[in-house]
């Protein structure tokens, strides 16, 4: 097939997965948060359960004026949302939805993933710096400090998985979670990594992942009570929508990555490889839904951490724990 045509198709496919995914998660957040606060949430948009609320919000944002503050560095300011969205979109490239259902099965998948996911940090920093607003700048700097601090435990937790799987390819990681661990009464039992000794790694990865997404309890960069909205303060209209969409698309991506690394990805026991291409996406979507629910649940339960508590948690607890986790995984890998 023509290279460019293939590229275009893949891009369309990623968008077709990302946009509905983000919208569904936004709606889920609206509804779940409402019920957690003894409210009903969206009710009228779309006729039933307010299902069209995210779409209506999007339409509303599109009609708003796209403001660029006079003090802003216009070019950088305009570019930042694209970079954030692009960084999030790029992570979808290597997420496997089935043995063959992957946009690009890179051998260095995990490496690529961690590399492009830090691209969003750059976008956030650009947004904060270029807004010409002190709140935005503090927010941007906080985001940078936070994302650098939590990139480490995230990478280290992923390293332990890579060590155990013996590969950096996400397809390979899923495949190694599909290997038979033991057999009971003729049934081959395969365990995901979270049950194969990576429970600490899983917890570290989810915590660091939440911080990467700047979600409560790690939302200091956009803390609305102290920084109005951090780096988002000056954004409006379509550009704000991009940040908003990027945030939720990032949440879906993070959930998919956690599912792939720790929860067995698309794999379902007792289903052979051909059928997995059909069932796999559904399995992955179910796991992503579960993880997104966990993220939302955490968000609507905990208060925001203080800035120093945030750094303490990363440098004094998560990183040492992740290092010990790698060491133990390495020893286990050699001994067993």
Partner 1 sequence: MTQVDRNSAKLPLGGLLKGMKVTIKAMVTRVHTVQYPVVKETPVPRARGVIALDPEACTVCMLCARECPDWCIYIEGHKQEIPPDKEGGRVRTRSTLDRFDIDYALCMYCGICVEVCPFDALFWSPDYEYSEFSISDLLHDKERLTDWLETVPTPPALEGA
Residue 129 makes CB contacts below 8 A (sequence gap 6+) with: 73, 76, 136, 137, 140
Main-chain dihedrals φ then ψ at residue 186, nearest 5 degrees:
85, -10
β partners of residue 182: 189
Least distance (Å) between residue 37 CB and partner 1: 7
Q: Measure CA 266 to chain center.
A: 17
- Report how many helices (DSSP H) and strands (DSSP E) the chain contains, helices first: 13, 2
Peptide bond before residue 317 is cis, with ω within 30 degrees of 0? no
Least distance (Å) between residue 210 CB and partner 1: 12
Q: Which of 63, 68, 163 is nearest to 110 (CA)?
A: 163
Least distance (Å) between residue 317 CB and partner 1: 11
Least distance (Å) between residue 35 CB and partner 1: 4
Name which of residues 246 to 305 contact partner 1 (CB under 8 A): 297-298, 300-302
Only one of the segments 22-30, 37-45, 59-67, 79-87 lies at the binding site for partner 1 (rule: CB under 8 A); that segment is 37-45
Least distance (Å) between residue 40 CB and partner 1: 5
Helix/strand/coil for 190: strand
Smaller CB separation from partner 1, 180 or 301: 301
Least distance (Å) between residue 303 CB and partner 1: 9
Smaller CB separation from partner 1, 27 or 235: 27
Q: Which of 109, 100, 60 is nearest to 240 (CA)?
A: 60
Residue 183 makes CB contacts below 8 A (sequence gap 6+) with: 189
Quote the CA–CA distance of 246 and 89 in Å, as a whole number: 8
**Residue 51 touching partner 1 (CB under 8 A):** no
264 near 192, Cβ under 8 Å?
Answer: yes
The DSSP annotation for 113-154 comes to HHHHHTHHHHHHHHHHHHT--HHHHHHHHHHHHHHHHHHHHH
Smaller CB separation from partner 1, 40 or 108: 40
Smaller CB separation from partner 1, 162 or 314: 314
Residue 199 makes CB contacts below 8 A (sequence gap 6+) with: none
Smaller CB separation from partner 1, 52 or 227: 52
- Residue entry with tokens 């003894």: 38
**Single residue of 37, 63, 183, 225 touching partner 1 by CB under 8 A:** 37
Smaller CB separation from partner 1, 39 or 306: 39
Least distance (Å) between residue 331 CB and partner 1: 24
249 near 21, Cβ under 8 Å?
Answer: yes
β partners of residue 188: 183
Smaller CB separation from partner 1, 47 or 185: 47
Least distance (Å) between residue 56 CB and partner 1: 17
End-to-end CA distance of the chain: 45
Site string for partner 1, 7-36 (x = CB under 8 A): -------------------------x-xxx
**Single residue of 43, 166, 179, 269 touching partner 1 by CB under 8 A:** 43
Q: Which of 245, 258, 264 is nearest to 207 (CA)?
A: 258
Site string for partner 1, 87-126 (x = CB under 8 A): ----------------------------------------
The interaxial angle of helices 273-299 and 3-36, nearest 10 deg, is: 40
Binding residues for partner 1, rule CB under 8 A, total 15
Smaller CB separation from partner 1, 77 or 202: 202
Least distance (Å) between residue 195 CB and partner 1: 20
**Single residue of 2, 38, 63, 183 touching partner 1 by CB under 8 A:** 38
Interacting residue ranges for partner 1, rule: CB under 8 A: 32, 34-40, 43-44, 297-298, 300-302
């Amino acid at each position: 097939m023509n290279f460019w045509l293939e590229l275009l198709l893949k891009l369309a496919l990623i968008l077709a997965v990302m946009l509905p995914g983000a919208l569904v998660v936004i709606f889920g957040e609206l509804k779940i948060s409402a019920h957690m606060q003894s409210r009903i949430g969206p009710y009228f948009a779309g006729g039933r359960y307010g299902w069209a609320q995210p779409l209506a919000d999007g339409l509303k944002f599109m009609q708003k004026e796209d403001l660029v503050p006079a003090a802003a560095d216009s070019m950088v300011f305009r570019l930042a949302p694209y970079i954030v969205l692009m960084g999030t979109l790029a992570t979808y490239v290597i997420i496997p939805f089935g043995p063959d259902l992957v946009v690009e099965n890179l051998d260095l998948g995990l490496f690529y993933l961690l590399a492009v996911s830090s691209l969003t940090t750059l976008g956030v920093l650009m947004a904060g710096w270029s807004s010409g607003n002190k709140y935005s700048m503090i927010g941007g700097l906080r985001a940078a400090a936070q994302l650098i601090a939590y990139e480490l435990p995230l990478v280290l937790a992923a390293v332990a998985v890579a060590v155990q799987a013996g590969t950096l390819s996400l397809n390979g990681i899923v495949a190694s979670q599909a290997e038979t661990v033991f057999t009971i009464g003729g049934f081959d039992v395969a365990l995901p990594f979270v049950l194969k000794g990576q429970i600490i790694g899983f917890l570290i990865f989810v915590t660091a992942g939440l911080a990467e997404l700047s979600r409560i309890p790690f939302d200091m960069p956009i803390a609305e009570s102290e920084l109005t909205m951090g780096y988002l303060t000056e954004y409006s209209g379509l550009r704000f929508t991009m940040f908003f969409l990027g945030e939720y698309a990032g949440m879906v991506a993070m959930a998919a990555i956690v599912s792939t690394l720790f929860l067995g990805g698309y794999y379902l026991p007792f289903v052979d490889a051909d059928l997995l291409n059909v069932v796999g996406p559904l399995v992955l979507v179910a796991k992503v839904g579960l993880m997104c629910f966990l993220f939302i649940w955490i968000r609507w339960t905990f208060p925001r951490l203080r800035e120093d508590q945030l750094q303490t948690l990363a440098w004094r607890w998560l990183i040492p724990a992740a290092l010990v986790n790698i060491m133990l995984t390495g020893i286990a890998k050699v001994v067993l």
